[in-house]
A and B are shown apart, each in its own frame.
Chain A
Amino acid sequence: MSKITIPLGPQHPALKEPENFMLVLEGEQITGATVNLGYNHRGMEKVAESRTYIQNLYLIERVCGICSHSHTTTYITNVEELAKAEVPQRALAIRTLIAELERVHSHLLWLGVAGYEMGYETLFMYTWRDREQVLDCLELLSGNRVHYSINTIGGVRRDITAEQKAAVLKRIKYLEERTQYYIKIATQETTLLARTMNVAKLPPDIAVKYGAVGPTARASGIKIDVRKDEPYLIYDKLDFKMITHDTCDVFGRVVVRALELVESYKMINQILNNLPEGPIAVKIPMKLAPGEAVNHYEAPRGEDIHYLKSNGTDKPERLKVRAPTMANLQSVAYMMEGGWLADVPLAIAAIDPCMSCTDRAVVWDAKKGKKTTYAWEDLRKLGIEHYRKRGVDFTKL
Chain B
Amino acid sequence: MSEFAKEEKIKAGLEAKFPGVVTNASVQRKNRVWAEAATEKLPEVLEWLKAEGFIYLSTITGFDEGENFGAFYHLSGHGMVASIKVKTPKTNPALPSVLPVFPVATSYERELEDMFGIKVQGLPPGRRYPLPDDFPTDQYPLRKDWTDANLPAWDAPAKEAK
Contact between chains at A211 and B142 (CB < 8 Å)? no
Partner of B58, one of A292, A293, A303, A318: A303
State which residues 1-41 of A face B: CB under 8 Å: 34, 36-38, 41
Contact with A along B94-135 (1 / 0, CB 8 A): 000000001110110000000100000000001111111000
Contact between chains at B63 and A211 (CB < 8 Å)? no
Q: Enumerate chain A residues within 8 angstroms of B80, measured Cβ to Cβ.
A: 230
The CA-CA distance from A294 to B146 in the complex, in Å, is: 25
Known: A211-B56, A303-B76. A330 touches B131 (CB 8 A): no
Report the minimum CB–CB distance from A298 to chain B (whole Å). Answer: 11
Contact with A along B45-84 (1 / 0, CB 8 A): 0000000000111110101000000001010101111010
Contact between chains at A322 and B59 (CB < 8 Å)? yes
Contact between chains at A294 and B32 (CB < 8 Å)? yes
Q: Enumerate chain A residues within 8 angstroms of B88, measured Cβ to Cβ.
A: none
The CA-CA distance from A46 to B116 in the complex, in Å, is: 11
User: Residue A374 at the B interface, CB < 8 A?
Assistant: no
Contact between chains at B142 and A46 (CB < 8 Å)? yes
User: Residue A305 at the B interface, CB < 8 A?
Assistant: yes
The CA-CA distance from A209 to B57 in the complex, in Å, is: 10
- Which secondary structure dominates where chain B touches chain A? mixed
Q: Enumerate chain A residues within 8 angstroms of B103, measured Cβ to Cβ.
A: 209-210, 330
Q: Enumerate chain B residues within 8 angstroms of A294, measured Cβ to Cβ.
A: 32, 72, 74, 81, 83
Report the minimum CB–CB distance from A221 to chain B (whole Å). Answer: 14
Contact between chains at A296 and B81 (CB < 8 Å)? yes
Report the minimum CB–CB distance from B42 to chain A (whole Å). Answer: 17
Report the minimum CB–CB distance from A215 to chain B (whole Å). Answer: 16
Known: A209-B103, A230-B31. A309 touches B63 (CB 8 A): yes
Contact between chains at B63 and A318 (CB < 8 Å)? yes
User: Residue A307 at the B interface, CB < 8 A?
Assistant: yes
User: Residue A208 at the B interface, CB < 8 A?
Assistant: yes
Q: Enumerate chain A residues within 8 angstroms of B43, measured Cβ to Cβ.
A: none
Can you list 13 pairs linking A and B with CB atoms under 8 Å apart? A38-B130, A45-B115, A81-B29, A224-B56, A294-B74, A296-B58, A305-B58, A305-B59, A307-B72, A322-B59, A326-B59, A326-B107, A330-B107
Give the 9 A-B CB pairs with smallest separation, nearest first. A229-B79, A211-B104, A230-B79, A322-B59, A38-B130, A320-B61, A41-B130, A307-B61, A38-B129
- Using a CB–CB cutoff of 8 Å, the interface residues on chain A facing chain B are 34, 36-38, 41, 43, 45-46, 81, 208-211, 213, 224, 226, 229-230, 292-294, 296, 303, 305, 307, 309, 318, 320, 322, 326-327, 329-330
